[in-house]
Amino acid sequence: MNDPSDENLSAFKAAIAEQTPLRIVLFDTELRIVWVNATLAELCGIPGEQWVGRRLDRMLPGSGTGGVESMLRRVLETGERVTGAEYPGPVLFGSQSTQVWGCSAFRVRRADGTVVGVALIAGDATERSRDRERLALLNEASERIGSTLDLTRTAEETLDMLVPRIGDVAFISLLSYVLDGGPQSRFESDGANLHMKIVAVRWLPGRPVPELIRKGAVAHLAPSSLYYQWLAEGRTIFEPRLSDPSAALTEMLYSEFLQRRYRVVLRSGMVSGMTVPISARGVILGTVGIFRAREVTHWEAALAQDVVARSAVCLDNARVYSRERAIALELQRSMLPQSIAQVPGVELACHYEPANTAAEIGGDWFDVVQQPDGRVALIVGDVVGHDIHAASLMGQLRTVTRTLAALDLSPRQVLTRLDAVVADMGVEVGATCVYATLDPNSRHCVIARAGHPPPAVVRPAGTVEFLDLPAGLPLGVGGADFESVEFDLEPGSLLALYTDGLIESRHAAIDTGMGNLAQALLAGNAEPFGPRFASTLISRLVPDPADDIAVLIARTTEDAEDAVRSEPPPAKLRLGATDCAGSVPAEVAS
């Protein structure tokens, strides 16, 4: 049509308006329908002439057209065009399946510029809207899931993204080897049952969580079950209608326990659901059960799988971290003294507390060594860094320090040799240390430190002082000159050695931390001194430590000759914590 006539051009335009897949409606200035194209008329099953003179809400009652009419009125009043405005509604413009419509509108004028109405053009924008919603949800999931390296917290964050957007109730179950930090990376092939424990739950608001779905509930899976096999393959079990007695999910639930859990979900009013495997880097970690009181669509099921896939990587990171941290903690504990000698004339209390944050285990340590001349060496050190290498270096330094302590060297001589040892190691990290010798009979004390926080002394009169002794350089600098300070302690005095985690905080100045330590020492000194003095001190000052902490406290008694040795040390207060009290009369247990 190189040179179309006016008649042919008009016919061509009319054909486009009628045959376009877009829905077109013309309204007058009172928003009464003047004309609809054939596409809209056929979709709704209403002949075009029946639309004329009626309003949109009369033609499509209950379809949520109020927002569309408000938009059209605004276009008429302002003349501003609208492009791509989205209006959700399952039956808008007669469609039972379309969820979102993209609408554009503009004024219609005569040749002289007189406004005679407004035109509405609508197209299916469901996929575009879903893609945008999916991207927004996954971006939010990436930001919110995995804020810590804690398995339970990560599971909780995952459910926050799934409920109520995709499901009304949901719970996450993790396999036992994930929670226990075991070495398995896939299902065992020896025919053993698997155990899954619920670690996070989102239930209906205002209703108690059923016993079978509470946190801690354990399900046992036999290798012969179809559920086990599907889980091993990483396949999602999706059931749009749970109430259907022939639903595949019902047939797959192997154990009686899982059958009962399934019935509990049905009784709560859920009508559809899915079980999504949690898998990352070839490791099956567990499952997410998601259920809804209406039918879950296939699109929502796919979206849930995308969110779980993001979560799986974070959960696997937490699993690997938990395992490595457990190994590092065990290494750290194995290299700390399991008990300390109670020396006549001196009462001792010590404690090691690992950090409760995502930082790896550190290199803090303490030690007590009896010397040949009757004195006792008190040592606290801190290797820079928070990983297994720091813990390993700590073990080496503790061994070297114990060896030097047996040579009856002065504190400054010990630190000088330690400095040379660390420098010779060629490691990039350094360490700090405070080393003291105390004579139980004369209560004469000699202390030197290498870049370490100053020791605190609590006098029987009720005063606290932080010893003014040269700080010295950290170990490993090489050629450092350390100085010692000598002083006497009265009977009933406390000498506190500690690492910086006890007084340093990102939220307060170090002077504040030292002031808090002084008050805590005074408060503790008013109470009976015992093996847990050091652990109680830490819990009072730093209930949730961001750095590991080592504390060693010595209390002088009246008469060394009549001092009574204490009972064996108590058990560790909790996993990762080492709380030592003396029981070995001769030498320190290494």
Mean pLDDT of 378-382: 95
Residue 522 has pLDDT above 60, yes or no: yes
For residues 337 and 367, the answer to whether their CB atoms sit within 8 Å is: yes
Per-residue confidence (pLDDT) for residue 427, from 0 to 100 = 65
Query: Left if phi > 0, otherwise alpha if psi is -120 to 50, otherwise beta: which for 234?
Result: left
Q: What is the pLDDT of residues 2-24, one digit of tens each?
A: 555 566 666 766 777 777 888 89
The reply to whether 6-124 and 129-326 are identical in fold is yes
Q: Which has the higher per-residue pLDDT, 230 or 445?
A: 445
Instruction: Place domain 129-326 in its CATH homologous superfamily.
Output: GAF domain (3.30.450.40)
- CA count, 13 A, side-chain hemisphere, 224: 1
Residue spans of the domains in the chain: they are 6-124, 129-326, 336-580
Number of other residues whose CB lies within 10 A of the CB of residue 586? 6
Read off the pLDDT of residues 85-128 as tens digits, 9 standing for 90 and up. 888 765 455 555 557 888 999 999 998 989 999 999 988 888 88
Q: What CATH fold (topology level) applies to the domain 336-580?
A: Phosphatase 2c; domain 1 (3.60.40)
216-225, 381-390, 414-423: least confident range: 381-390
How many angstroms separate the CA atoms of 233 and 231, rounded? 5
Share of the chain above pLDDT 90, in %: 43
> Which amino acid type is present at position 530?
G
Does domain 6-124 fall under CATH 3.40.50.170? My reply is: no
CA-nearest of 500, 566, 193, 489 to 362 is 500
Q: Residue 183 — very low, low, confident or very high, per pLDDT cuts 50/70/90?
A: low
CB atoms within 10 A of CB 238: 20
Looking at the DSSP bridge assignments, the partners of residue 85 are: 103
Residues in the chain: 590
Residue 523 has pLDDT above 80, yes or no: yes
